[in-house]
A and B are shown apart, each in its own frame.
Chain A
Amino acid sequence: EVQLVQSGTEVKKPGESLKISCKASGYTFNRYWIGWVRQRPGKGLEWMGIVYPEISETRYSPSFQGHVTVSVDNSNRTAFLQWSGLQASDSAIYYCARVEDGFNSRTSHWGHGTLVTVSS
């Protein structure tokens, strides 16, 4: 069974850095694109970026390019989402999600979400 287990709730101040994680199990980790989806309070879903673990190739949505970093640790089957300087507008739930077959495919598995609150 495919499982994506995400790290816990974070409360941070503006300007702080943060790295949240998503540990995968139940499949060959390095052969599927995995990435992050943002959902701000009361708002819709937004793809942020994806990574192909086998070669650490990353692709970002234009809105998030340069603002976050998506990475993986293949030895620990874990994907990461990282900020170097959080803003209040980064407050959201972040879902880790796995893409089934790459480009033009579905998002077949989801983590439970990590709540990030950024407030002074």
Chain B
Amino acid sequence: QSVLTQPPSVSAAPGQTVTISCSGSDSNIGALFVSWYQQFPGAAPKLLIYENNKRPSGIPDRFSGSKSGTSATLAITGLQTGDEADYYCETWDTSLRGGPAVFGGGTHLTVL
């Protein structure tokens, strides 16, 4: 059971916008940065968002992140069938004595 809570699945049609939530507490999301990862079947995770809302080079601006209090959100606009994947939030926790980080349980995105 992860300390970060994500919905198990979300779905939306191509072209629409979808949001994925990640809920934590004062000791993790409330105090520290959140990152988001995309994982396709059989592949390693890939960094999508870091420091709550920054994108690494090469990540389209269709992907955005935000944080408010003890929750974070990943938004994907202009959905494409190729976005169908698992998405994970990650942060650290001040109660874990310096690490490692923790992941949310993951959310499977279906593009209908």
Chain A residues engaging chain B, CB cutoff 8 angstroms: 33, 35, 37, 44-50, 59-62, 95, 99-100, 103-108, 110-113
B101→A44 contact, CB < 8 A: no
A115 to B92 CA separation, bound complex (whole angstroms): 26
A45 to B105 CA separation, bound complex (whole angstroms): 7
A selection of 7 A-B contacts at a CB cut-off of 8 Å is A45-B37, A59-B98, A59-B99, A95-B44, A106-B90, A110-B44, A113-B44
Q: Which residue of B lies closest to A96 (CB)?
A: B44
Q: Does B32 contact A (CB under 8 A)?
A: yes
Q: Does B58 contact A (CB under 8 A)?
A: no
Q: Does B88 contact A (CB under 8 A)?
A: yes
Pick the contact of B2: A44, A62, A107, A113 (CB < 8 A): A44
B contact residues around A95 at 8 Å (CB): 44-45
Total count of chain B residues near the partner, CB < 8 A: 28
A107→B44 contact, CB < 8 A: no
Q: Which residue of A lies closest to B104 (CB)?
A: A44
Chain B residues engaging chain A, CB cutoff 8 angstroms: 2, 32-33, 35, 37, 39, 44-47, 50-51, 56, 86, 88, 90, 92, 96-106
B47→A106 contact, CB < 8 A: yes
Apart from A105-B33, A107-B47, A107-B101, what are 12 other A-B pairs with CB-CB below 8 Å? A35-B100, A37-B45, A44-B2, A44-B86, A59-B96, A59-B98, A61-B96, A104-B92, A106-B51, A107-B35, A108-B47, A110-B44
